[in-house]
Amino acid sequence: MQSALEGHDVGAPRAGGDAARAVLIDRDGTLVVDVPYNGDPALVEPMPTALAALRRLRDAGLPVGVITNQSGVARGLLSLTHVDAVNHRVSELLGPFAGFWICPHGPEDGCACRKPAPGMVLAAAASLGVPPAACVVIGDIGADVEAAKAAGARGVLVPTRVTRPSEVAAADVVAPDLARAVELVLAGRGAG
């Protein structure tokens, strides 16, 4: 597996972009342990480094949002009420968050919000009043970093057991866990 980033700085300004001014994090597999189609708040379990990583972002004054595909809604496996209940529990354990953006559609629905499409990233950036180029998206699968790229944001892949080797190879920035991903964001933030 690739190690985290010699020579890649996700927080530094780039041509046509700004320093990181907001961080958008995938929910399942990145913030919390992935329980497929989870509609039960009692099953929410934070990833090991999540709380400390989020605290560092908040202490640095960066708004943190959550972006999450929830195709279980389209598949009839859970309702938006279930998704909201799980999100509420995530907030209780790890919050506060600047917002939650969800895509309730299935992969075949062709919507603009389902990652790897950029819709949720663009919506979150607009809601937070931050240009997409000033956002960093952190997630555990290729669709997360592809959504970032499609929106003009920067992405950091934090691989888990479900991450494909091809997704790791294709990612510009890879970190071993959420804490290291946050270190990379903050290291490049500078005074800007």
Residue 28 annotated in active site? yes
Q: What contacts 87, CB < 8 A, 6 or more positions away?
A: 27, 66, 68, 100, 102
Cα distances (Å, whole numbers) of residue 184 to 33, 102, 178: 22, 26, 10
How far apart, in whole angstroms, are the C-alpha atoms of residue 188 and residue 192?
9
Angle 161-151-5 from CA coordinates, rounded to 5°: 50
Q: Which of 28, 34, 140, 177 is catalytic?
A: 28
Token pair of 23 as six digits: 């961080």
Among candidate residues 128, 122, 170, 119, the one with its CA nearest the CA of residue 145: 170
* Residues composing the chain: 192
Q: Which of 26, 140, 144, 177 is catalytic?
A: 26
Residue 172 annotated in active site? no
| Active site residues per annotation | 26, 28
